[in-house]
Amino acid sequence: MTAVLDIPDLTILLVEPSSTQRKIIMGNLANANVEKVDPVTSGREAINYLSRQAPDLVISSMYFPDMTATELVKFIRDHDNLNQTPFMLISSEISFGKIDPIKQAGVVAVLPKPFDFPALETALKNTLQFLEPEELDLENYDPTSLRVLVVDDSALARKFIIKTLTGLGISNYQEADDGKTAISLLEKNTEFDLIVSDYNMPEVDGKELVQFIRANELLAHIPVLMVTSEQSRAKLSNIEQTGVSAICDKPFEPDNVKQLLASILN
């Protein structure tokens, strides 16, 4: 019987230049019984570490003396031996423009400074679900036969979404790099069981894509899971009114995705 990975088994790279913050984070990790934590203080140290080995999880602050977390996560996602590594951001940064690129690249959690222990524990559980996901249990579908269209203008976001879906047992998918491309695909192929789409995209955004789908009698029945890092309540309400089946926040958490897909597909 294969051993199941648990929180104390995790190997973590912690990138945090502040000695005080490192102490706080490592103290909370110790409370979660995590012992294998390697702390570094700069982006260059992190890259040197990652060039030698791949941890189970990278926990990072937003700013280092030599680069930002955005640059570090891009390095991770650009390397084949690292690009599936879960990434957690702990930051006091609240600017949407600064945080969104990291969310788009795929993270298991974004925690504020200060954070509480339950939030960290939940994020660690999300990491386990990402590393060892359980397949979807659906009444009406075999997950391996589901035909899914993934729409996002960020290649990194598409890769992260597909990794999550693959972990749930879904392997039959097509990609579209924006809403306009998705419409072209859907005009030729209406045989999809599910569409997973970003909201903020150039030319044709997620709202316009859903409107196209719901107005086409050959497509109108297809469930649409909208994935967004949008925080505006007015915009989210706008999205809901277009006829989406469910809205999923970025970070794209496996357990949340699993529950949403089970709900909309069953």
Determine the topology of domain 143-265 in CATH: Rossmann fold (3.40.50)
What is the model's pLDDT at position 233?
Answer: 65
Q: Mean pLDDT, the chain, as a whole number?
A: 88
The one-letter amino acid code at 168 reads L
| CB burial string 81-102: b at 16+ within 10 A, e below | ebbbbbbbbbbebeeeeebbbb
Residue (of 215, 221, 149) closest to 182 by Cα position: 149
pTM of structure:
0.75
Instruction: Work out the pLDDT band at 50, boundaries 50, 70, 90.
Output: very high
To which H or E segment does residue 234 belong?
helix 233-240
Q: List, by residue range, all CATH 3.40.50.2300 domains of the chain.
A: 8-131, 143-265
Contact 60, 90 (CB under 8 A): yes
What is the model's pLDDT at position 156?
Answer: 81
Determine the topology of domain 8-131 in CATH: Rossmann fold (3.40.50)
The one-letter amino acid code at 244 reads V
Q: Say if residue 204's pLDDT is above 60.
A: yes
Q: Which long-range contacts (CB under 8 A, 24 or more apart) does 173-176 make?
A: 173/147, 173/148, 173/149, 174/147, 174/148, 174/149, 174/150, 175/149, 175/150, 175/151, 176/149, 176/150, 176/151
What is the model's pLDDT at position 236?
Answer: 67
Which residues, in sequence order, are bridge partners of residue 224?
195
Instruction: Work out the pLDDT band at 249, boundaries 50, 70, 90.
Output: confident
Q: Say if residue 1's pLDDT is above 50.
A: no
Average pLDDT over residues 172-198: 93
Average pLDDT over residues 91-100: 88
pLDDT digits (tens, 9 = 90+) for 161-174: 888 888 888 889 99
Residue (of 166, 157, 175) closest to 73 by Cα position: 157
Q: Say if residue 255's pLDDT is above 50.
A: yes
pLDDT digits (tens, 9 = 90+) for 100-151: 888 888 888 899 998 999 999 989 988 888 888 777 777 767 888 889 999 9
Query: Which of the residue ranges 16-30, 106-120, 252-266 would you say has the lowest mean pLDDT?
Result: 252-266
